[in-house]
Amino acid sequence: MVVGESGLGKSTLINCLFLADLYKDRTVPPARDLVHRTLSIEKKQLDILEKGVKLKVTIVDTPGYGDPLNAQDSFESIEQYIDDQYKQYFKDESGLNRKNIVDNRVHCCLYFISPFGRGLSQLDILFMQKLCNRVNIIPIIAKADALTPTELTALKKKIFKDLDDNGISIFRIPECDSDEDEQFRKKDQELKDAIPYAVIGSTTQVEINGRKTRGRIYPWGIIDIQDESYSDFIKLKTFLSLHMQDLKDVTNEVLYENYRSVFLSLQTPPPEERDEMSAMMSAESLLQKKEDEIRKMQEQLMRMQQALQQQVQSGALHSLSPIMSPRYEE
């Protein structure tokens, strides 16, 4: 899922990440329409090939987020969408055909932060507070070419301070396995240290030193969005490639389980189901009562049989005693 205020380059970055043109039919609304614009959720599906493995990726975009003066509806719409995917997965998981479950849960939320503020805005804080327990949030500093290296370093530190001060949790890259080599460990540590990723997006083809790439042309020069000296675009792409399974694991084992436990605790059956459950409980109670009565009758019958056997044995001894007594006298 991609979330952020309009104009931060969300669609451009998605097109760069997946080398596609997913939003060619989208039109930019005039400024007067943005005040009352409502959030809409758009889904795009892609089939990509990553290291010889075919993957189906669903991109969920949220145009209109943050445009109205009151963004409460935007929060609720995104929250409802994420919960709906959890609810559908829970329904499929509880059904009979669990082998072919389609997982449409949101495993990653790229949240775009404006480079022109001094840290997180109140809108950023409210959104992350409401959604950080439902989805893996990856903060993204958009349009990083608007910042000097010193400004970018200061902004990253301020963002982390705002996250800690407001109790917001974001996705943390897990530690490497003990059998990983040193080069991989170093690369993975670079991915950790770079969060929040400062990215530059562009779909314009440029040529730099005889090499074609995507970049932005300015009067003073050309920016290569893949140059890691001032852009984290490659780091973000590497992160999504290396740690997609980790994102899915956290979604399944932590976020979904939290939702599932809350959902079950708040779930109340409708009246007809309650009546049916009550009737079933009454039937089970009656059946248990009958079984108890049968068991008591069986125990009483066994006692009667034992008493009868004792009487029979006692009567046999009495009948034998006159015959045996003369022998004893002799």
Concatenating the DSSP letter of every residue in 96-140 gives S--TT--------EEEEE-TTSSS--HHHHHHHHHHTTTS-EEEE
Tokens of 171: 């996705």
Parse the chain into domains and list their residue ranges: 2-266
Q: What are phi and psi of 66, to 5 degrees?
A: 80, 0
Does 12 score more than 90 pLDDT?
no
Q: Which of 27-31, 138-142, 160-164 has the lowest mean pLDDT?
A: 27-31
Residues with Cβ within 8 Å of 98's Cβ and at least 6 positions away in sequence, in order, are 92
Q: What is the pLDDT of residue 136?
A: 96
Instruction: Mention the CATH class of domain 2-266.
Output: alpha beta
SS3 41: coil
Does 95 score more than 70 pLDDT?
yes
Q: Are 108 and 59 in contact (CB under 8 A)?
A: no
pTM of the model: 0.75
Sheet holding 2-3, edge to edge: 42-50, 53-61, 2-3, 109-113, 137-141, 197-198
Residue with more model confidence, 252 or 42: 252
Q: Are 55 and 48 in contact (CB under 8 A)?
A: yes
pLDDT, tens digit, for every residue of 176-228? Answer: 887 788 888 898 899 999 999 999 988 888 888 888 888 888 898 888 998 89
**One-letter amino acid identity for 248?**
K
Q: Are 207 and 198 in contact (CB under 8 A)?
A: no
Tell me the helix, strand and coil percentages in the chain, rounded to 5. 50, 15, 35
Residues with Cβ within 8 Å of 149's Cβ and at least 6 positions away in sequence, in order, are 230
Residue with more model confidence, 147 or 297: 147
pLDDT, tens digit, for every residue of 140-152? Answer: 999 999 999 999 9
Q: Are 41 and 60 in contact (CB under 8 A)?
A: yes
- Ranges of beta strands (E only) in the chain are 2-3, 42-50, 53-61, 109-113, 137-141, 197-198, 205-208, 211-218, 221-224
Sign of CA dihedral 173, 202, 38, 25: negative
